[in-house]
Structure 1
Amino acid sequence: MRFAEFFAGVGLVREGLESSGWQCVWANDISADKMSTYVENYGGDHFYLEDIWKVAAEADDILPKNVFLYTASFPCTDLSVAGSRAGLAGAESGTLNAVLNILKEKKLANDLPKIVMLENVSGFLTSHGGRDVIETVKTLSELGFVVDIIELDAALFTPQSRPRVFLIAVIKDIASKFMLLKKSEDLFDTWWQRYDEQPKLRSTKLKKLIASNEQLNWGLFDIPLPKQRTSTLEDIIEYDIPNDSSLWWSDDRKNHLLAQMNPAHLAKLQAMMDSELFSYGTVFRRMRAGVSMAELRTDGIAGCLRTPRGGSSKQILVRAGNGELGVRLLTPREYARLQGVRDSFILPNNINKGYFAMGDAVCVPAIEHLSKHALIPIFKCSQLT
């Protein structure tokens, strides 16, 4: 089961796929820092450090042949609510078009992968009123793929709120043996009904997008919800950080954070401090009406991790109880645990690079889940043809 990964980052898609038997034969990213972490963990004999557009221009010479699966966790910058919302017209998220160009070249060379899996933020579904994702599906349909779109939140697997969209495209002759294909004569509601009971995997927003573009090559995987998550924020914390560590904030810095909280969040924090037992929460700074506000979360789940392009993008941990309050940033290792990454995974020595490594990566158990219930069954179907 050979796969190639575009926008490989530090290798968390690979981390999720290799655990179920996939073999990575080629990987690409433009970031030398991310490549360094990738190579530390997996070796670098198959890693190609280059701009994806240059890869697309020389795809026949660069890419290996007879690869079953392509994955692409392309940049979310122009699709994210926190970004410019330029969509696939943007310089960063628009790099998906380079991958689509590679697929067009591969079709001409009769060397298309049998599966393509794209991953991005939920904004992929709403960018330019949904036109960006529909144009992507249209291109894949023209290339002979059948497409399903799955919405998976990391919170189903780890204590991190991280909704993501996974677009899985399968060559039609294989898809017809495993997926429920939408045929032109099928009533939409009849075709969709079997899977309409999984709103956590396919939202009403997605349903409307598909319903208004029935002519494209749509198919559905029968993917179950994962088992109920039992882990909480407290399960990912590094408890061996001593109280006198410089990682813990000074009183002045803590007071500045408290000054950014509204009364409701301050009341929640005070209740934590008044308890005889220590408890934990996370704080994320957000702009509200042009003012930076510190918002406390105490439901045992961290907010969505981001890359540290500014101080406000780093997630803050609070520990409160017995009248005490401790505040520090989550560590890169805690970030990694929130992404479902094993503790033996080698992180960068530089803390900020560690945040970058994990902040825009994928949740490993989500990849494992999709591999088990979609990618591997498709591969097995292909062996029967």
Structure 2
Amino acid sequence: MKFAEFFAGVGLVREGLSRDDWSCVWANDISEDKKSTYVENYGDDHFVLGDIWDISQDLSSIPDDVFLYTASFPCTDLSVAGNRSGLAGKQSGTLNAVLHILDKKREAKQEPKVVLLENVKGFLTSHKGTDAANTVKSFSELGYYVDIIELDAVMFTPQSRPRVFFVAVHHSIAKEVMILKQKGTILDTWWATFDANPSLRSKAVKNIISQNEDLNWGLIDIKAPKATGSVLADIIESNLPDEQHLWWSKDRKEHTYSQMSPAHQLKLQQMCNNDHFSYGTVYRRMRKGLSMAELRTDGVAGCLRTPRGGSSKQILIRAGYGDWSVRLLTPREYARLQGVRDDFWLPENHNKGYFAMGDAVCVPVIEYISENIITPIFHHWEKSTA
């Protein structure tokens, strides 16, 4: 089972797929820092460093006999925190380079049977859904049927990280592994299957399909994952000594407290009153022109981000026995929130470690997709061609 990984980052899509025996035969990213982490963990025999647009002009490095392409393309222009330029933006628009590569591979009759895209949920609402619709239109023209599935990492790890996945299946096998939407059918029972698992496909997806019913739509009939029930305390590096330099000074601690609203200060005081330690995370956000420290105490971390500013790093609160301490989450804790094994190599530089994990995928989410969607499709194709 071979796959090629576009926008590979540090290799967390590979990490999830490899648990299901997929073999990565080609990977690409433009970041030298991410390549360094990738190579430390997986070697450099198949990693191509460079701009995807340059690669799209010369496909000689991409193997032909690949069943699956994956692409976690940049979310910068699609996320709420970004500039919302959508696929017209410089970074998120690199998806068009992947589509160009697919078109060239189609002409050579070497296109993959399945393509998996991953991005933020803002992809569904970017330009009122037209970016997502145009992506499906492109896949339709390339001979694929598309299902759009939404998954949140919080079902697998204690991190709120909703993401959207486009699963494009080649027309040669789509009718065998998907429920295809019939075009121009008034009484369409297809929607009953769509509505059976609302947590997997939201109203935003339904709106996109309803407004673009002439495109190639398919459904993969799967059940939503069951929540693991893991909490923030499960991923904390508990062996860090109190005097370790990561814990903040009294002045910095008091400054954080001063940035909390009265309601959040009360939450913290209630945590301090417990006869055990409990944990919460803090994000700094701008509210009415003021920098505010917002405390989350439900046992779940907010969505990890890359360290491009002070507000992007999550702060950890440990409270109990009448007191509290504060520090940043460590890169290893970031990795654990992404479902990454503890022997996965991380850069010694903390900012590089945050960057490696902050915009990566959650490994067990990919593993779930592999076990429930991609691997079954491969085995069906394998049997049909035997």
TM-score over 0.5 for the pair: yes
Match of 2:81 in 1: 82
Q: Secondary structure at the match of 2:56?
A: helix
Match of 1:27 in 2: 27
Is the contact made by 1:188 and 1:211 (CA closer than 8 Å) also made in structure 2?
no
State the 1:230 CA deviation. 2.1
Match of 1:352 in 2: 351
Pair 1:189–1:305, CA change in 2 (3 A): farther
Match of 1:364 in 2: 363
State the 1:108 CA deviation. 0.9
- Taking the aligned partners of 1:102 and 1:279, their CA distance within structure 2 comes to 49
Pair 1:84–1:56, CA change in 2 (3 A): same
Match of 2:304 in 1: 305
Match of 1:43 in 2: 43
Match of 2:167 in 1: 168
- Taking the aligned partners of 1:146 and 1:7, their CA distance within structure 2 comes to 22
Please tell me the root mean square deviation across aligned C-alpha atoms, in Å: 1.0
Q: Secondary structure at the match of 1:195?
A: helix
Pair 1:321–1:23, CA change in 2 (3 A): same
Alignment of 1:199-218 (within 5 A): 199-218=198-217
Is the contact made by 2:155 and 2:229 (CA closer than 8 Å) also made in structure 1?
no
State the 1:327 CA deviation. 0.1
- Taking the aligned partners of 1:7 and 1:18, their CA distance within structure 2 comes to 17
State the 1:187 CA deviation. 4.1
- Taking the aligned partners of 1:356 and 1:271, their CA distance within structure 2 comes to 33
Match of 2:288 in 1: 289
Match of 2:327 in 1: 328
Match of 2:91 in 1: 92
- Taking the aligned partners of 1:194 and 1:148, their CA distance within structure 2 comes to 12
Letter of the 1:318 counterpart: I
- Taking the aligned partners of 1:244 and 1:116, their CA distance within structure 2 comes to 49
Match of 2:10 in 1: 10
Match of 2:273 in 1: 274
State the 1:293 CA deviation. 1.1
State the 1:275 CA deviation. 1.4
Q: Which moved more, 1:187-196 or 1:233-242?
A: 187-196
Letter of the 1:241 counterpart: L
Q: Which moved more, 1:184-193 or 1:299-308?
A: 184-193
Is the contact made by 1:179 and 1:219 (CA closer than 8 Å) also made in structure 2?
yes
Return the TM-score normalized by structure 1.
Answer: 0.98
- Taking the aligned partners of 1:163 and 1:371, their CA distance within structure 2 comes to 18
State the 1:195 CA deviation. 3.2
> CA offsets, 1:252-307, max 9 Å, x none?
11111111111111111110011121110000111222221111111000000000
- Taking the aligned partners of 1:107 and 1:146, their CA distance within structure 2 comes to 15
Is the contact made by 2:182 and 2:188 (CA closer than 8 Å) also made in structure 1?
no
* Length, aligned pairs only: 384
Could you tell me which runs of 5 or more consecutive residues in structure 2 were left unpaired when the two chains were aligned. Answer: none
Could you tell me which runs of 5 or more consecutive residues in structure 1 were left unpaired when the two chains were aligned. Answer: none
Letter of the 2:320 counterpart: G
Share of identical aligned residues, percent?
65
- Taking the aligned partners of 2:186 and 2:192, their CA distance within structure 1 comes to 10
State the 1:198 CA deviation. 1.7
Is the counterpart of residue 237 in structure 1 residue 236 in structure 2?
yes
Letter of the 1:163 counterpart: P
Letter of the 2:112 counterpart: P
Alignment of 1:124-163 (within 5 A): 124-163=123-162
- Taking the aligned partners of 2:343 and 2:328, their CA distance within structure 1 comes to 21
